[in-house]
Structure 1
């Protein structure tokens, strides 16, 4: 059966990140993407011009609509919109017995703030129900580092794109703190990096929804991001969108590329 992935995240009008990047990623990896939109943003490659949170009741209504009819095999959480929505979403998802991937979105690639202090404080609820949390290095530091994250009992996928040097190191850490997987790759020099975190988390969720072990899903997700960076169409005047939908003609073409770095 086609893996069903529920994406709870914000909308990016420029199509580079958020729900738009998530849908492209899930579709390319052979999944069915469903959405519960938490915020509407006016943004492009240069930055975020406006943000309008969706009322919590409407976010929950979208979730309930998908779950009651189509069902779900994995959930991906991105931009959450507000502390109220974070707590309500945690309450709704806690009874589910499916993998949950949480991308703790705080700041956009352009530098715009996408979560206020109250919302960031509420992330603890989401991390407690998550199977995997996927912070980049600044987000990991803001959340207290690896030691603090162990208390939440989820796997940690530490994204290395914000690190220094020519080599990017992505790491998968088990709930007990042991590193169980790492992938190292030459840094891809490009300005088309908008949506990397969204893409990685959605690719991971799609792999888990398909029944992959977390290590294999991690490998697929990191490689999919790298292929998307290499396939970027070069749009916009700032941090451009990646090329998730331009990798190949479909899942078969993508599968042939999986072994390439």
Structure 2
């Protein structure tokens, strides 16, 4: 019998196409042996071709969802994804003040969808930068998100180290800066914390099936931390999980297709 270890409360938007957002988060946490709970911030009308609409969830309901989970089941880690408005950021911060809320917070600063749709306005970005990021144990921006948070372009591998340290100076405990948007045959991610820099270098996987990679990676890191892994071990396992999920993607959709989140799971037979 599989033992479920690590409770992860995910606060993020729903992706109707199932490749990113809450759907990717739940699949990832489950595939890595954890227990996933959710507080949905918005419903996105979305598929592999892009975001076609957003239906907002009342901010008070976001706090209430968090409270319902924390008051009963509890959580070892909270992970945030799409937070599209300042009142939603306020609602998450209120949820983080609940009795029993864990200290470990993973913030994936989702601001731009894979197809280029802008998901957060300037005021929301400022609230995330000033009020949520300093609460985070780790943030997991890609290069476009890092550029938004820092207010300057980060477009070259030689700029990543300084950008990661500058993001760390915003007050978070660690930064995993992802370099997948850079051109070239190799991908570098940079992890920076009080312990210094760690580089992760791998050959690029030549695929269009990259929808939800950021959500998936952040939730995989959150699961590892919830299960007691140290930061480097959690990131190492998370990256390996995402890379295999990309390499074995099912090839669905006409755009940026979803990953194979279930590659760790054997089909059940009666």
- Residue 216 (str. 1) matches residue 233 (str. 2): yes
- Residue 101 (str. 1) matches residue 106 (str. 2): yes
1:58 maps to what in 2? 61
Counting only pairs closer than 5 Å after superposition, residues 239-250 of structure 1 correspond to structure 2 as: 239-249=256-266
1:156 maps to what in 2? 175
- Residue 113 (str. 1) matches residue 131 (str. 2): no
Give the SS at the match of 1:152: coil
Asked if the contact 1:45/1:239 (under 8 Å) is kept, the reply is: yes
- Residue 72 (str. 1) matches residue 90 (str. 2): no
Give the SS at the match of 1:43: strand
Please list every run of 5 or more consecutive structure 2 residues that lacks an aligned counterpart in the other structure. Answer: 151-162
- Residue 197 (str. 1) matches residue 191 (str. 2): no
TM-score (norm 2): 0.88
1:142 maps to what in 2? 148
TM-score (norm 1): 0.91
- 2:245 is aligned, of 224, 228, 234, to 228
Asked if the contact 2:164/2:190 (under 8 Å) is kept, the reply is: no
Asked if the contact 2:133/2:170 (under 8 Å) is kept, the reply is: no
Asked if the contact 2:211/2:257 (under 8 Å) is kept, the reply is: yes
Displacement of 1:247? 4.2
1:172 maps to what in 2? 191
Asked if the contact 2:43/2:57 (under 8 Å) is kept, the reply is: yes
Asked if the contact 1:227/1:247 (under 8 Å) is kept, the reply is: no
CA–CA separation in structure 1 for the residues paired with 2:219 and 2:117:
21
Give the SS at the match of 1:151: coil
1:41 maps to what in 2? 44
Q: Cα deviations across residues 80-111 of structure 1 (Å, max 9, x unaligned)? A: 13111112312321563431110000111111
CA–CA separation in structure 1 for the residues paired with 2:136 and 2:185:
31
CA–CA separation in structure 2 for the residues paired with 1:9 and 1:97:
17
CA–CA separation in structure 1 for the residues paired with 2:94 and 2:38:
18
Displacement of 1:175? 4.5
Q: 1:87 to 1:183 in 2, by over 3 A?
A: same
CA RMSD across the alignment: 1.5
CA–CA separation in structure 2 for the residues paired with 1:151 and 1:183:
23
Q: 1:19 to 1:136 in 2, by over 3 A?
A: same
Give the SS at the match of 1:41: strand
Asked if the contact 2:62/2:91 (under 8 Å) is kept, the reply is: no
1:123 maps to what in 2? 128
Asked if the contact 1:94/1:129 (under 8 Å) is kept, the reply is: no
Asked if the contact 1:53/1:82 (under 8 Å) is kept, the reply is: no
Displacement of 1:54? 0.7
Deviates more, 1:85-94 or 1:17-26: 85-94
Q: Cα deviations across residues 153-187 of structure 1 (Å, max 9, x unaligned)? A: 320001111112100011110148x31x2211110
